[in-house]
Chain A
């Protein structure tokens, strides 16, 4: 049943049921540009699976193939047992899809949008209200307002309500939190956690590394390829190299100077500091301090830290 070469900790659910999504050696090009190449993965029933990667990693293309909007060049994919090419009509009945861009009718009110999508799926708001109640209650006070006049966070809540109104078996959310404020992002992830309890499989993509920790499993994507698939903890555990957070009085020069050192494996900006990995297996703080002083840095702080998902991502990119 699973014919992928990827190893991951097997959860109890996956032993009992067929996976929701099975992708085998999937490729898709636009002209000469290869959007995704030779991707294989499986998503188990009822899990929150995150595709994490920067813009241009191929997340949107992958999602569009899965919701039957694009036909792959090579390989195969199935959603809930239906092939994305030949059984596209069946898939369209059971998936909830939220495109990356806000795709509701801006000139329709909140309520009218929801009603329209309910009628498109031959259902009513009342029928599956329990599913969206949590989310919809927050925007219900504005139900007469035009969707175009909502804030970013409220738009996302409405879009999620519309994608859920027909009680889909699986949700595809393409960058649902891009352009949404921090508070709304957190609320949004809380909602996904609650939806998971209804047994809905959720596949979500995001460019924000910190959101990876909120998924059950993640695929780190870069340039159309998957660099790693694991649980968030698994990905962090796989990061074996020492890591240090470095700050000095001259942050502009710091990355350049660190990269010029013999013992440098990688150095990159991370928020207000620079994360540094040495080539050797141990971090030699004294040597690093000396070298930096020689290069004219003052007020140097070097602190060993444990890696986050983004560090793992950067490490995978450095190796590749």
Chain B
């Protein structure tokens, strides 16, 4: 056993490609996801529909446009144009001032503005609305200071195309999940398939080594390395993106370990049905990577999927793990809230281990 584990570490540390996937990828992927989902807005094109056209509405419009964030693409004449400019993709946001904006503010100390954003890109939409309301609130405070009386500008916003704005800021939980899945399942399945492809499996089988020893010898190094990876990602999330873990770090690491073991069991299962590294890689890609990214809620919100796909999502261990990581990292909940998801992953782990043991071939056919 010990000899086997040492040998496995030699394989890993001597293969440049393995090392890059193991240690380069987590860093690169976290940074790419992190910066691609940028929190900055610059020169976003907007349209303004102003029914008042009085001094205050113009003043506020100017303020919004002269900030670095927005550029006025066009002034609209009436509501029917709103949908057209959105559909043409010309603007990302439309700001609508109601009738008698200035008069309402002066007489009734209250006026309203409506903001409509194109939420087909939910992150950007959310940011645009936040920036706009920020500027409006600023303007409100200025006016209150000048006039010495309380006024209120009610902003009302509407998200077009994707009203629920799911999937924002969950790239860290998603990335951890994808990477653990990739490293654990793909790397083990490839490494076992490699023994078959190069013929060394033949020699291993004709030795007193038990299948369980071969499997454990393969798996233990990857458990260790995947765990190191999980910690690396969490550290990156904290130091580069300022994303702290709200809940218990120990619980999070324990859940990660469980998920790693599940993924490894899955990887061994894949290796039992593939005879070459290529097959193992393709199977891992299609069986793991695509569903992990597409059907786990990592990028596309599950709530918006057709019912059939939602059912499929329930079969993805990644879906449950993303929920667990999100809940611990963002909401700071304890085991009491996520025991169901944990149980589901434990169940899947047992299933895959059982399948692998049943499928592991003690002979060549």
A and B held together in a complex: yes
Known: A99-B199, A101-B199, A105-B7. A121 touches B364 (CB 8 A): no
Give the contacts of B307-364 with A (CB-CB under 8 A).
362-364
| Nearest CB of A to B211, in Å | 11
Is the pair B14, A69 in contact by a Cβ cutoff of 8 Å?
A: no
- CA separation between A167 and B85, bound complex, in Å? 83
Bound Cα distance from A162 to B205, whole angstroms: 14
The distance in angstroms between the C-alpha atoms of A174 and B208, with both chains bound, is 20
- Select A103's contact among B6, B11, B202, beta carbons within 8 Å: B202
- CA A102 to CA B363, docked complex, whole Å: 19
Q: Which of A64, A67, A71, A107 contacts B11 (CB 8 A)?
A: A107
Which of A11-19, A112-120, A222-230 lies on the face that meets chain B? A112-120
Cross-chain contact B208 with A112 (CB below 8 angstroms): no
Q: When the two chains form the complex, which single residue of A68, A104, A112, A120 contacts B209, counting CB atoms closer than 8 Å?
A: A120
B204 at the interface (CB under 8 A from A): yes
Query: Chain A residues near B306 (CB, 8 Å)?
Result: none
Question: Roughly how many angstroms separate A55 CA and B76 CA in the complex, as a whole number?
Answer: 83
Say yes or no for B2: interface residue by CB 8 A criterion: yes
Which chain B residue has the least Cβ–Cβ distance from A95? B206
- Residue in chain B with minimal CB distance to A66: B206
User: Do residues B207 and A107 form an inter-chain contact, with CB atoms below 8 A?
Assistant: no
Pick the contact of B203 from A93, A97, A108, A122 — CB < 8 Å?
A97
Residues of A within 8 A of B14 (CB): 107
A105 engages B200 (CB within 8 Å): yes
- Chain A minimum-CB-distance residue to B3: A119
The answer to whether A68 touches B206, judged by C-beta atoms less than 8 angstroms apart, is yes
CA distance A103 to B194 in the complex (A): 11
Interface code A247-269, partner B: CB below 8 Å = 1, 0 otherwise?
00000000000000000000000
CA distance A75 to B340 in the complex (A): 54
Contacts of B10 in A (CB 8 A): 105, 107-108, 112
The reply to whether A119 and B2 form a contact with Cβ atoms under 8 Å apart is: yes
A140 to chain B, nearest CB (A): 20
Contacts of A116 in B (CB 8 A): 3-4, 6-7
Given A70-B365, A112-B7, A112-B10, is A104 in contact with B200 using a C-beta cutoff of 8 Å? Answer: yes
Given contacts A64-B364, A119-B3, A120-B3, contact A106 B198 (CB under 8 A): yes
Contact among A69, A104, A115, A120 with B363 in the assembled complex (CB-CB below 8 Å): A69
B358 to chain A, nearest CB (A): 18
A69-B202, A97-B203, A103-B198 known; A121+B208 contact, CB < 8 A:
yes
Indicate if A239 sits at the interface (CB-CB under 8 A).
no
Chain B proximity of A36: nearest CB distance (Å): 15
Chain A: which residue is nearest B198 at the CB level? A103
| Pairwise interchain contact A71-B203, C-beta atoms closer than 8 A | no
Shortest Cβ distance from residue A149 to the other chain B in the assembled complex, whole angstroms: 12
B142 to chain A, nearest CB (A): 69
Closest beta carbon of chain B to A104's beta carbon, Å: 7
A163 to chain B: closest CB distance in Å? 8
B203-219 at interface with A (beta carbon < 8 Å) = 203-209
A297 at the interface (CB under 8 A from B): no
Per the bound structure, the CA–CA distance linking A118 and B170 in Å amounts to 49
B15 on the A face (CB < 8 A): yes
In the bound complex, residues from chain B placing their C-beta under 8 Å from that of A67 are 206
Chain A residues, CB < 8 A from B202: 69, 97, 99, 103
Complex CA gap A102/B203 in Å reads 10
Decide: B203 and A103 in contact? CB cutoff 8 A: yes
Checking B11, B200, B206 against A69 with a beta-carbon cut-off of 8 angstroms, the contacting residue is: B206
Of the candidates B198, B199, B204, B362, the one whose C-beta lies within 8 Å of that of A120 is B204
A199 to chain B, nearest CB (A): 21
Say whether B3 contacts A70, CB under 8 Å: no
**Complexed CA–CA distance, A104 and B202 (Å):** 10
Assess whether A92 is in contact with B363, with CB atoms less than 8 Å apart. Answer: no
Nearest-neighbor residue (CB-CB) of A163 within chain B = B203
Do residues A92 and B206 form an inter-chain contact, with CB atoms below 8 A?
Answer: yes
CB neighbours (8 Å) of B6 from chain A are 116
Least CB distance, B12 to chain A, in whole angstroms: 10
Q: Is the CB of A103 within 8 A of B207?
A: no
Q: How far is the CB of A80 from chain B (nearest CB, A)?
A: 14
B207's partner among A71, A92, A102, A115 (CB-CB below 8 A) is A92
Complex Cα–Cα for A311 and B25 (A): 62
Check B204–A107 contact: CB distance below 8 A: no
Chain B residues with CB under 8 Å of A88's CB are: 362-363
From residue B301, how far is it (CB to closest CB) to chain A in Å? 44
User: B202 — nearest CB in chain A belongs to which residue?
Assistant: A99
Q: How far is the CB of B294 from chain A (nearest CB, A)?
A: 35
Q: How far is the CA of A187 from the CA of B205 in the complex (A)?
A: 29
Contact B7 A121 (CB under 8 A): no
Identify 17 residue pairs between A and B in the complex whose beta-carbon atoms are under 8 Å apart, listed by A's number. Answer: A67-B206, A68-B205, A69-B363, A88-B363, A92-B207, A97-B203, A97-B206, A99-B199, A104-B200, A105-B10, A106-B198, A108-B7, A108-B10, A116-B6, A117-B203, A121-B208, A122-B208
Taking Cβ atoms with an 8 Å cutoff, the residues of A that contact B are 64, 67-71, 88-89, 92-93, 95, 97, 99, 101-108, 112, 115-122, 162
Q: Beyond A92-B208, A115-B3, list 5 extra A-B contacts (CB 8 Å).
A: A69-B364, A101-B199, A102-B199, A120-B209, A121-B208
In the A-B complex, the 4 residue pairs with the smallest Cβ-Cβ separation, listed nearest first, are: A119-B3, A103-B199, A97-B206, A69-B364
